[in-house]
Structures are given as C-alpha cells and as structure tokens.
Amino acid sequence: MSTPLNASLLRGFSILSLFSDQRNEISVAVVCSELNLNAATAHRFLTTLEEVGVIFSHARGKYSLGLRMSEYGALAQRTSPLVSTVQPVIDRLAMELDEAVMVARAASSGVMCVATAQANRAIAVNVKIGTILDYHATAQGKLWLAHMHAEQRDRKIKQISLKPFNPDTIIDTNNLLAELERVKQQGYATNLGEREPDIAAVAVPVVSKKGELILTLSVFGMRHRFAPDFIDHVRKKLEQAARIIRASYYT
C-alpha cells in the first residue's frame, strides 16, 4: 500500500480543474455544485487559492486564474525539458497527420490525459486535459494495462468494471488478456470504436531506461480514416515522437 495522499490538496486542484477554455471564471456556487462541496468549504478553498495567487477575484464571488498560475506554467516550460518538448512535438504531429494527439500518464485515479494537440480541422475530436481514460476501452488504457506486472494487472482488471460502451468494447476478461498480449507483442495499441463507435486511435509507449512506462501517446480521430496503412503510418510517426520525448526525459 502506498502513501495516502493529501485530500485537501487534491480538492484544491479539483477546483482548479473546473477552469477551462469554456469557463474562464468560477464561483462558490459552481464549485459547490460541480464538486458536491459545502459552501463554506468551497469558499475557504477559493480564498486559499487566491491567497497563493493562482486565482484572483475581480468581482465578489467570481474567480479567474491568476498571474502566479501563469508564472508557474512558464517556469515549468523553462525548467523542465520534458514539459517544453512535449507540446511542440505533439503539435507538429497533429499537423502532419491532421489528427488529434494526446499524451497520458498514470495517476492513482487512472490513466490521465495531460496534454493534447488538436487537428487543424473544422470538425475535430478532442479530449479535455485531466480526463481519465478507460483502461479496457482506450488505446492508451490498454497500453498501460499491457505494461503492468501480471498480478497488478489482474487486480486492476478486477477493480475496473468492463463497461460495454458498444458492441466493439472488449468486456470478457479472457478476451481482454489476449488483446493485452497482442498489444505487448506488437508494442502499440489500437482502439477501433471500442469506446465511441466512430472514434479510432493508435497509441505507443514512452518507456524509461528501466523499461517502465513514463507516458503514452496516441493519435485519434474519425474511425473511417484509420485503415491499416494509415494506422501503420501513424504508429511510425508516434514512435518517432516517443523517442524525442523520451530523450527529453533524460536531459
């Protein structure tokens, strides 16, 4: 059993996760309803986040992301080669392939999207950063399962519920294990409509020198685009991107 986490800190960041391109300000009421919190508690967290400068209040009860958040982000870019490498690499890949790209990492809550690059399309699929991906029904999720030790993998499969999102979703444990074996053998994973009927994805690992997964990368889009030739092309491009990102991890 690993270190229990700090619930207040988790909650603080849950509040920060409510901000998005579509939501540039939040209120006590929004926090209460979205996170099922008491008003006094929500108010206390917002006031604390304001105190440290990552949000500010420009009108009573209305909060926006603040200057220090911007500075932390810029500092992350300046001080972490991995951080400064990932976005340009996935932006370029999205442009080259004309499909969306996503990066994910393992959190205790699941496989979490930590960076995305949009396709330059009028109608595009995207995933919101912070989203937790389904282990059994996404390309990246399957990659993470495939890289687990057998015991941990089996425990995780028991723990998750193999929701039948649609007829293509793998819901039988033996079928899932066989699929994970295939993923392991071929070194990449695909998702052909398993999570959403019309969405496909290809994912590859970014592996450490010790053979552990650091991150996973995927390209995803409308399923009809993902013919075998395109999948192979995408896989090669993703592996290339993975090599660049892996190198930045060790700078």
Residues that bind DNA (CB under 7 A): 1-4, 6-9, 11, 27-29, 32, 37-41, 43-47, 57, 59-62
Query: Side chain identity at 142, as an amino acid letter?
Result: K
170 binds, among DNA, a second copy, none (CB under 5 to 8 A by kind): none
- Interface residue with a second copy, options 16, 124, 148, 177 (CB under 8 A): 16
For residues 41 and 118, which CB has a smaller minimum distance to DNA in the complex?
41
Complete DSSP assignment for 94-118: HHHHTSEEEEEEEETTEEEEEEEE-
Distance CA 179, CA 171 (A): 11
Binding to a second copy in span 71-110, by CB under 8 A: 71-80, 82-84, 86-87, 103, 105, 107-109
29 binds, among a second copy, DNA, none (CB under 5 to 8 A by kind): DNA
For residues 48 and 184, which CB has a smaller minimum distance to a second copy in the complex?
48
**Least Å from the CB of residue 147 to a second copy:** 17
Task: Burial-class residue 78 by CB neighbours within 10 Å (0-12, 13-18, 19+).
Answer: exposed
Place of tokens 């080669």: 81
**Least Å from the CB of residue 143 to a second copy:** 17
Number of continuous H segments (helices) and E segments (strands) in the chain: 9, 8
**Least Å from the CB of residue 180 to a second copy:** 25
Q: Which residues, at least 6 apart from 82, have a Cβ–Cβ distance to it below 8 Å?
A: 245, 248, 249, 251
211 binds a second copy (CB under 8 A): no
**Least Å from the CB of residue 65 to DNA:** 17
Place of tokens 């999205």: 94
Cβ atoms within 10 Å, residue 143: 25
- First-to-last alpha carbon distance for the chain, in angstroms, is 31
Cβ atoms within 10 Å, residue 33: 11
**Least Å from the CB of residue 79 to a second copy:** 4
159 binds, among a second copy, DNA, none (CB under 5 to 8 A by kind): none
> Which residues of the chain form contacts with a second copy (CB under 8 A)?
2-10, 12-13, 16, 19-21, 23-24, 43-45, 47-49, 51-54, 56, 58, 64-80, 82-84, 86-87, 103, 105, 107-109, 112, 114-115, 129-130, 214, 249-250
